Structure 1
Amino acid sequence: MSRMEHHIHTAAPVEINRRSAARRQSGRRRGLRWLGAACVLLLLVGLAAYAFHRPLLRGFASALTVDDAVAPADFLYVLGGDVNTRPFHAAALFRRGFAPRVVVPRTEDRPASEGGFYPIDAEVVVRILQHQGVPGSAIAMLRISGGVTSTQDEGRVLREYLQTHPAQRVIVVTSAYHTRRARWTLRRELEGLPVDLRMASAPDDRFDASNWWTREAGFLAYVSEMLKFVHTLLRG
């Protein structure tokens, strides 16, 4: 092998190594640029989220809320649950003349209530309604075996009641964060019936759409409701 041939053979691997190193270095630079861009993007997103978190969180609460009970109805339907807000709001609507009667689904029997140690929620609701000025003659409790255990059950009971007590419009009273899911569920259960459902969101003096994330009770209520709504939609 001549000296020239030897030089060519030894120079080629060196040149290849240089090109490979250059490509690796260029790849690292591109990777660092992408990483830097991603960090800047995350920083901007974080700053935007911090700057606009209040409007976003208020918007989230508003998306769960429906409050369209602006006209009189045949009766008020008080969903089971928060006895510290729903029956009081229903009584206020009754006193303002929104409906001549209040219908309450009987809630689930519990060991404490079956033993006579504690009344079921529906009985507490009736007592509050009467205490707030709704006469007993204007209150109807829908009784079913075992009581209702979900919003879906409350829709089924309401459907049975409407088949024997037809109504053009019903005002459903429930917590603000529960109104949209409740309307979606009840409409499915009442499909085919000519009834106009309107929602009345019961206010809670502990939190509202403007500050729910700053109160433990509000945070738990809204986040839990979101998960329940997702589960309801997935279940179909």
Structure 2
Amino acid sequence: MSNAIQRVESEPPSEAAHEISPAVPAKSDLRRRGFFAVAVLGAVLILVVGTRGYWLPAATAPLLARPITPDFAPTVIWIHSVDGHSLPGQDTLNLLADLQRQHTAEIVVTVGRRSRVVEIGALPPMDEIVRRAAARRGIPHDRIVAVPYRGRQLWGAAEWMQSYLTQRPEARVLFLCETFAGAAAERVLDSTLDADCRGRVAVLEVPDRRFDTKEWWRTRAGVKALMTGYLFGVHGLVLPRPPDPPELTVPQLMDRFAPPGGGAP
């Protein structure tokens, strides 16, 4: 027994006994690191908020159309309604009247898609809205040209513009669009018009009285317009020439939801 005890005592200690347990940081170190992370995050937030007047306006740069040269004199003012029943901006009609007086230009109206509220008679067609507003502002009715629905949204209207400009070599078109939609409209025109026709078209974004484009983040309307502009831009990149989706007329919709045996739905 004593020999066994002596043998155990004489054996060298195992390597496991010499292993050093991992060091556990003290609570003070953890607290110090947490304070440092919070301080860095706070400094970044202060920097972002304090310099928002510099980088927030830059967020609109990819959405804006190219500047119009001072010597550009339009002979045609082109209005395109995306949904078929609303104008590109709230101040479109006033801007249209001012431009028409300055250049005595013809006014062309196109629509991006058929509007259900127009088909059922709840709202007049877009060209009729423009004619009534133009008459109140002293613009003759014969200066307004209504283009039939072409399909394929803005791409269809741009194809009609190509034909229009080809037949009129002297025409210069000023295309009116929504705020922050100028770059998206230019991308469609660049992909549809040839070089000669594209050189005779300029894009002008209609100002929105609800917000200042240089301080768009101060109002909900400005934030919405910016998001819509980016959505238009992404849509144009993903689908450069999208197909026109099939659309049903109001009678077709009523027939679809009518009971099989006939009668009112």
TM-score, normalising length from structure 2?
0.71
The offset of 1:106, in angstroms, is: 4.2
Runs (5+) with no aligned partner, structure 2: 1-5, 82-86, 241-265
Equivalent runs, 1:72-111 vs 2, <5 Å: 72-80=73-81, 81-82=87-88, 84-97=90-103, 100-106=105-111, 108-111=113-116
1:203 partnered with 2:202: no
1:121 aligns with 2:122: no
How far did 1:2 drift? 4.4
Asked if 1:186 is matched to 2:192, the reply is: no
User: Contact (CA 8 Å) 1:78, 1:102: kept in 2 or not?
Assistant: yes
Indicate the structure with greater helix content.
Answer: 1
The residue matched to 2:210 in structure 1 has which SS? Answer: coil
- Judged with a 3 Å threshold, the aligned counterparts in structure 2 of structure 1 residues 153 and 36 are, in CA distance, closer, same or farther, namely farther
Question: 1:190 Cα shift?
Answer: 0.9
Per-residue Cα deviation, 1:6-30 (whole angstroms, up to 9, x for no partner): 2x324x32221x1x413xx47x999
Partner of 2:238: 234
**Could you tell me which residue of structure 1 aligns to residue 56 of structure 2?**
57
Change (3 A) 1:141 1:30: farther
Helix, strand or coil for the counterpart of 2:190?
helix
Distance 1:116 1:68 in 2: 39
Tell me how far 1:103 sits from its aligned partner. 1.5
Between the aligned partners of 2:120 and 2:158, the Cα distance in structure 1 is 28
Structure 1 residues 121 and 38, CA gap change in structure 2 (3 angstroms): farther
- Work out whether residues 170 and 195 of structure 1, in 8 Å CA contact, stay in contact via their aligned partners in 2: no
Give the 3 Å change call, closer, same or farther, for CA 227–195 of structure 1 in structure 2: closer
Aligned AA (1:72): A
Q: Which residue of 1 aligns with 2:16?
A: 13
* SS in structure 2 of the partner of residue 9 of structure 1: coil
Q: 1:89 Cα shift?
A: 1.4
Identity of aligned residues (%): 19
Q: Which amino acid aligns with 1:55?
A: Y
Write the letter of the residue equivalent to 2:123.
Y
**Is the counterpart of residue 47 in structure 1 residue 46 in structure 2?**
yes
For the aligned residues, what is the CA RMSD? 3.1
The gaps in structure 1 that reach 5 residues or longer are none
What displacement does 1:107 show? 5.2
| TM-score, normalisation: structure 1 | 0.78
Instruction: Report SS of the residue matched to 1:118.
Output: coil
How far did residue 207 of structure 1 move? 0.9
CA deviations on 1:166-214 (whole Å, 9 max, x unpaired) are 3453211122311121111112111344432212222221112133222
The equivalent residue for 1:174 is 177
Deviations 1:69-118 (A, max 9, x none): 33202312122133522232122112122x52121114533333223331
